[in-house]
């Protein structure tokens, strides 16, 4: 990879999470040279400047390199149980990482023109304490790579807040919506996902979280490893603490504070990453809530009997919402009508 333009292109694609796997392998070979690694991490960490505008030390960059190298050699996005094609593009959608715009400008102008002597940036950049990335209602899933090597995939109508670097004794992120987590193992620093009235404490594992603030429940489903899920009352006092094993999910009801643990087919929880929505023996009211987020519609179920009917099915998220509803309604139990983004469903 001697061509300088290729190097700069790969740096931009990697930081924007749009690099193809074969390009990633070639990029990794270039990074084997210590000087190249130093150059890359100086650029990558433009957004991680401290208040006195110092770049990370050589030791910090070497640690970051080791983490990134482990992810590359292990398949990077292979995940715990994810099914992905052999050639893939890393991260779809809009990557709202704080430094991407600055990095893209830096590379387009030439790395040497943007960085001053000894690799220090000409412009002083002061990052915010937390970055925020989101996927809008009806949007396509997006992937976030955290500084510790963890990977988070965000579903529609989801927002994740996370620090540019994990500097404390715990690695904390805040989630509103649905996401699949592949957490990098770190025995010294637990990973904590903060939800509405719940905390998920992790040390290295894979799990799916459904925790939309506009819904009355949270669901955590464990695919691999173990997680502890703490539930709190309205005053923030802990009322329950459960330890999940693979194949279990915990359901937390906001109104009653009730916590229930059950055995499930955990593989159903993250099929949305493959463009599918699969459900098994789920009430129509829960299915309707999911369809609202996936299709950016508002579904009105005015009949209490309809809300409780349970369904099992699999749909491609490429199908039109009307087609999905017609398949659900194969027994002709209801009729529906759409006006704008509002869908009204009534019993027959």
pLDDT tens digits for range 269-288? 999 999 999 998 999 999 99
> Tokens 């429940």 map to which residue?
217
pLDDT of residue 21: 65
Tokens at residue 36, please?
Answer: 């190249």
Rounded alpha-carbon distances, angstroms, from residue 267 to 30, 115, 198, 206, 247:
37, 47, 23, 11, 8
The answer to whether residues 126 and 49 touch, using CB atoms and an 8 Å cutoff, is yes
Buried b (16+ CB within 10 A) or exposed e, 139-170: bebbbbbbbbbbbbbbbbbbbbbbbbbbeeee
The answer to whether residues 106 and 114 touch, using CB atoms and an 8 Å cutoff, is yes
**Lowest mean pLDDT across 6-10, 91-95, 184-188:** 91-95
The answer to whether residues 217 and 196 touch, using CB atoms and an 8 Å cutoff, is no
Give the residue with greater pLDDT, 154 vs 79. 154
What is the mean predicted confidence (pLDDT) over 314-320?
92
Give the residue with greater pLDDT, 339 vs 302. 339
- What mean pLDDT value characterizes the chain? 78
Give the residue with greater pLDDT, 332 vs 69. 332
CA distance 61 to 40: 9
What is the mean predicted confidence (pLDDT) over 167-173?
90
Rounded alpha-carbon distances, angstroms, from residue 9 to 18, 105, 313:
11, 12, 43
pLDDT tens digits for range 20-37? 766 777 777 777 776 676
Tokens at residue 48, please?
Answer: 């991680």
pLDDT tens digits for range 31-86? 777 667 666 666 655 534 433 444 455 565 565 556 555 555 544 444 564 443 33
Tokens at residue 149, please?
Answer: 């090597």
> Tokens 């996370």 map to which residue?
162
> Tokens 């987590």 map to which residue?
181
Please say if the pLDDT value at position 247 is more than 90. Answer: yes
CA distance 158 to 175: 8
pLDDT of residue 7: 73
pLDDT tens digits for range 192-238? 999 999 999 998 899 999 999 989 999 999 999 999 999 999 888 99
pLDDT of residue 26: 76
Please say if the pLDDT value at position 115 is more than 60. Answer: no
Give the residue with greater pLDDT, 308 vs 261. 261
Please say if the pLDDT value at position 103 is more than 70. Answer: no
Residues whose CB is less than 8 angstroms from the CB of residue 122 and which lie 6 or more positions away in sequence, other chains included: 114, 115, 116
The SS3 call for residue 41 is helix
What is the mean predicted confidence (pLDDT) over 327-336?
91
């Amino acid at each position: 990879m001697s061509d300088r333009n290729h190097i700069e292109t790969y740096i931009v694609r990697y930081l924007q999470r749009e690099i193809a796997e074969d390009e990633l392998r070639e990029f990794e070979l270039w990074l084997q040279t210590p000087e190249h690694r130093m150059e890359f991490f100086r650029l990558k960490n433009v957004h991680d400047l401290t208040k006195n505008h110092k770049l990370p030390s050589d030791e910090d960059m070497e640690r970051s390199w080791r983490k990134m190298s482990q992810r590359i050699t292990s398949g990077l996005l292979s995940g715990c149980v994810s099914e992905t094609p052999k050639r893939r593009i890393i991260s779809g959608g809009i990557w709202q990482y704080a430094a991407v715009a600055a990095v893209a400008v830096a590379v387009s102008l030439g790395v040497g023109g943007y960085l001053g002597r000894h690799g220090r940036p000409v412009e002083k950049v002061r990052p915010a304490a937390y970055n925020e990335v989101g996927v809008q209602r009806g949007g396509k899933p997006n992937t976030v790579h955290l500084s510790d090597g963890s990977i988070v995939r965000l579903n529609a109508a989801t927002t994740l807040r996370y620090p540019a670097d994990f500097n404390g004794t715990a690695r904390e992120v805040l989630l509103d919506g649905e996401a699949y987590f592949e957490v990098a193992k770190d025995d010294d620093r637990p990973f904590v996902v903060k939800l509405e009235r719940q905390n998920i404490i992790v040390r290295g594992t894979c799990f799916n979280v459904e925790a939309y603030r506009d819904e009355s429940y949270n669901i955590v489903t464990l695919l691999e490893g173990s997680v502890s899920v703490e539930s709190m009352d309205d005053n923030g006092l802990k009322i329950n603490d459960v330890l999940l094993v693979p194949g279990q999910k915990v359901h937390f009801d906001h109104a009653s504070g009730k916590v229930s643990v059950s055995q499930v087919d955990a593989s159903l929880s993250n099929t949305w990453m493959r463009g599918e929505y699969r459900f098994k023996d789920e009430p129509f009211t829960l299915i309707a809530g999911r369809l609202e987020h996936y299709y950016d519609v508002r579904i009105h179920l005015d009949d209490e009997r309809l809300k409780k009917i349970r369904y099992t099915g699999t749909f491609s998220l490429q199908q039109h919402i009307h087609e999905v509803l017609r398949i659900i309604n194969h027994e002709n139990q209801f009729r529906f009508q759409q006006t704008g983004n509002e869908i009204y469903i009534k019993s027959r």
